[in-house]
Chains A and B, each alone.
Chain A
């Protein structure tokens, strides 16, 4: 385990991605055989950017989740005599907002809604789009036609426009914004899953598995899911970063979270009027959106090179 993994890296073909050991074992004494995912993990852990970003995200997410128990001021407690205190004011480390609420507390609490709006739509879209893509790719024929043509239509909308259109038609509110972003992400996930499924389905090892009596379920579980997982995971982390930007954008124009909730996009919107009095305070919520989104982007880059995914 102390040896650099790449020195004895086993060249892994498509078929071994599911996590089984490969047949390409190197016959050298003392070398530990490693699976694909073990290799990926080692490579990810050796990439300083990915590790640093993961740590930043854990910090942001952890403080958001445990916000009520880490001694913060109530994020909704307004104080009209302490409005727009500058960053560094005594008692308010990051100042206060236009209603005198503590900025630090609101930024930490804001992570709850903003991160949820970043992650949840992607998870939902992965499940729904994943099933649709598997179905289209595996069944083929008319089912494929139907699913993929409908996907094409939704794909024909720019993501922000579609999100704004859906959320705007349904009316303002967190649930509607969540639904809107989920719908936006289903088509791309369906496409990625469908294309990988179609590719893998026609490979020899799937034929071989079928010939040796593997059930459709077993083939989907080991071979298709095993091969889809890598590209989809890389893609999903990019989608989370996009999702955070869109969700905060929706709140920013008044279509997502509503006051007095703490949410980064909404805070950016309400603090926008105070750029003359407290420019630094007004910039902070956007900085959180930016950092979180960038971390997900960098992690995606790290995963991509660690898994050697190309698409």
Chain B
């Protein structure tokens, strides 16, 4: 197990380097250098000075190494728009995204898992059909559209919940903070919840058709105990899907955050794109992509732990 973890971690390093290269290359794909895009028509001499102070006058490979080195030490440069340091900005935004991300995962995974397992266990009944069709609607749902519908129903028509921003709660553990989080979290929960439900249903159905379940029944185990065995066997698959869905959820929050003007990483990314604020864009992309790489790593290790049969040779 330990050697598997070690090898899996080592494998992550080249991937992370590749990811950083892609992020760097993407930002430099745009024609012209980052500054002229922001500054517009200015004095050439001043532009050259600015370029030197941001380090944009150096050759690209040097720029990449400098940027990578700085990023690793937590120095992500300064926003071209506001002049504020990028790193604290990112941390603040990441906390906001994590807040709705965890809330969404809690809602989506709880409902998805329960519904999916019940549907798989009661395969072919009306319950199974209801869950399956809701789940297929969920995976096809443009979550930014669901967000708009939620706003129309709960903010505009009923007036129960706010539709914009995170409010200014005194602490995270207050109704003020939670009522702002509720709608974005539900919108974000739809897709992962549906995917988990589909996965859990398929896994439970497959396991129920295995011979060992027959053997358990023959030995006279109660249905509840059998369901426990089934759940234990479905765990690795479901766990892996949940991990990946969580990472996808955080990345996908850019669209939902745009609807709710939620001050998270997605909203930051959106602003950075339209401001052509390269340091912020690079930082946000890097953070989200590395988080995804890290989640993949954790998922693989968890899966190996939950299912000892996974080939670790």
* In the complex, chain A residues 240-275 whose Cβ is within 8 Å of any chain B Cβ: 241, 245, 248-249, 252-255, 268, 272, 275
Q: Is A50 in the interface zone, CB < 8 Å from B?
A: no
Please state if A282 and B26 are interface contacts (CB–CB under 8 Å).
no
Q: In the complex where A157-B292, A275-B151, A297-B136 touch, is A249 in contact with B23 (Cβ < 8 A)? A: no
Q: In the complex where A161-B285, A166-B26 touch, is A290 in contact with B140 (Cβ < 8 A)? A: yes
Q: Could you say which residues of chain B place their CB within 8 Å of the CB of A283?
A: 145, 148-149, 152
How many interface residues does chain B have, given as a range?
35 or more
Q: In the complex where A158-B247, A245-B142, A297-B136 touch, is A275 in contact with B293 (Cβ < 8 A)? A: no
The smallest beta-carbon distance between B177 and chain A, in angstroms, is 24
Q: Is B255 in the interface zone, CB < 8 Å from A?
A: yes
Count of interface residues, chain A, beta-carbon cutoff 8 Å: 43
Q: Could you say which residues of chain B place their CB within 8 Å of the CB of A301?
A: 136
Q: Could you say which residues of chain A place their CB within 8 Å of the CB of B288?
A: 158, 161
Q: How far is the CA of A41 from the CA of B64 in the complex (A)?
A: 53
Q: Is A94 in the interface zone, CB < 8 Å from B?
A: no
Q: In the complex where A164-B273, A283-B149 touch, is A248 in contact with B26 (Cβ < 8 A)? A: no
Binary A-proximity of B63-94 (CB < 8 A = 1, otherwise 0): 00000000000000000000000000000000
Please state if B255 and A252 are interface contacts (CB–CB under 8 Å).
yes
Q: Is B122 in the interface zone, CB < 8 Å from A?
A: no
Instruction: With CB as the reference atom, state the residue of chain A lying closest to B151.
Output: A275
Please state if A169 and B258 are interface contacts (CB–CB under 8 Å).
no
Please state if A161 and B18 are interface contacts (CB–CB under 8 Å).
no
Q: Could you say which residues of chain B place their CB within 8 Å of the CB of A160?
A: 248, 251-252, 254-255
Instruction: With CB as the reference atom, state the residue of chain B lying closest to A298.
Output: B136
Q: How far is the CA of A294 from the CA of B194 in the complex (A)?
A: 13
Q: Is A24 in the interface zone, CB < 8 Å from B?
A: no
Please state if B27 and A164 are interface contacts (CB–CB under 8 Å).
no
Instruction: With CB as the reference atom, state the residue of chain B lying closest to A301.
Output: B136
Please state if A164 and B254 are interface contacts (CB–CB under 8 Å).
yes
Q: In the complex where A289-B145, A297-B139 touch, is A156 in contact with B274 (Cβ < 8 A)? A: no
Q: Is A173 in the interface zone, CB < 8 Å from B?
A: no
Instruction: With CB as the reference atom, state the residue of chain B lying closest to A268.
Output: B145
Q: How far is the CA of A254 from the CA of B270 in the complex (A)?
A: 9
Binary B-proximity of A134-148 (CB < 8 A = 1, otherwise 0): 000000000000000
Please state if A170 and B29 are interface contacts (CB–CB under 8 Å).
yes
The smallest beta-carbon distance between B237 and chain A, in angstroms, is 13
Q: Could you say which residues of chain A place their CB within 8 Å of the CB of B293?
A: 156
- Residue of A149, A164, A252, A275 near B156 (CB, 8 A) is A275
Q: Could you say which residues of chain B place their CB within 8 Å of the CB of A153?
A: 15, 18-19, 21-22
Instruction: With CB as the reference atom, state the residue of chain A lying closest to B258.
Output: A253
Q: How far is the CA of A296 from the CA of B292 in the complex (A)?
A: 27
Q: Is A279 in the interface zone, CB < 8 Å from B?
A: yes
Q: Is A168 in the interface zone, CB < 8 Å from B?
A: yes
- Residue of A165, A252, A286, A294 near B26 (CB, 8 A) is A165
Q: Could you say which residues of chain A place their CB within 8 Å of the CB of B251?
A: 157-161
Please state if A254 and B22 are interface contacts (CB–CB under 8 Å).
no
- Residue of B140, B248, B259 near A241 (CB, 8 A) is B140
Instruction: With CB as the reference atom, state the residue of chain A lying closest to B20.
Output: A153
The smallest beta-carbon distance between B79 and chain A, in angstroms, is 16
Q: Is A37 in the interface zone, CB < 8 Å from B?
A: no
Instruction: With CB as the reference atom, state the residue of chain B lying closest to A164.
Output: B254
- Residue of A158, A169, A276 near B27 (CB, 8 A) is A169
Q: How far is the CA of A248 from the CA of B140 in the complex (A)?
A: 13
Q: How far is the CA of A279 from the CA of B254 in the complex (A)?
A: 23
Q: Is B121 in the interface zone, CB < 8 Å from A?
A: no
* In the complex, chain A residues 271-308 whose Cβ is within 8 Å of any chain B Cβ: 272, 275-276, 279, 282-283, 286-287, 289-290, 293-294, 296-298, 301
Q: Is A171 in the interface zone, CB < 8 Å from B?
A: yes
- Residue of A156, A245, A276, A290 near B296 (CB, 8 A) is A156
Q: Is B1 in the interface zone, CB < 8 Å from A?
A: no
Please state if B252 and A279 are interface contacts (CB–CB under 8 Å).
no
Q: Is A152 in the interface zone, CB < 8 Å from B?
A: yes
- Residue of B15, B136, B252 near A294 (CB, 8 A) is B136
Q: How far is the CA of A249 from the CA of B151 in the complex (A)?
A: 18
Please state if A169 and B15 are interface contacts (CB–CB under 8 Å).
no
Please state if A168 and B149 are interface contacts (CB–CB under 8 Å).
no
Q: Could you say which residues of chain A place their CB within 8 Å of the CB of B148?
A: 268, 272, 275, 282-283, 286
Q: Is B289 in the interface zone, CB < 8 Å from A?
A: yes
* In the complex, chain B residues 222-280 whose Cβ is within 8 Å of any chain A Cβ: 247-248, 250-252, 254-255, 258-259, 269-270, 273-274
Q: Could you say which residues of chain A place their CB within 8 Å of the CB of B136?
A: 294, 297-298, 301
What are 21 A-B contacts with C-beta separation under 8 Å?
A153-B15, A153-B18, A156-B18, A157-B22, A158-B251, A158-B252, A158-B289, A160-B252, A160-B254, A168-B273, A168-B281, A169-B26, A169-B27, A170-B29, A170-B30, A275-B156, A286-B144, A286-B149, A297-B136, A297-B140, A301-B136
Q: Which 7 A-B pairs have the closest CB atoms?
A: A286-B145, A153-B18, A158-B251, A294-B140, A168-B273, A161-B251, A293-B140
Residues of A within 8 A of B (CB): 149-150, 152-154, 156-161, 164-166, 168-171, 241, 245, 248-249, 252-255, 268, 272, 275-276, 279, 282-283, 286-287, 289-290, 293-294, 296-298, 301
**Extra contacts besides A245-B142, A253-B258, A293-B141 (11): CB < 8 Å:** A150-B18, A156-B15, A170-B29, A253-B254, A255-B273, A275-B151, A283-B149, A286-B144, A286-B148, A290-B141, A297-B139
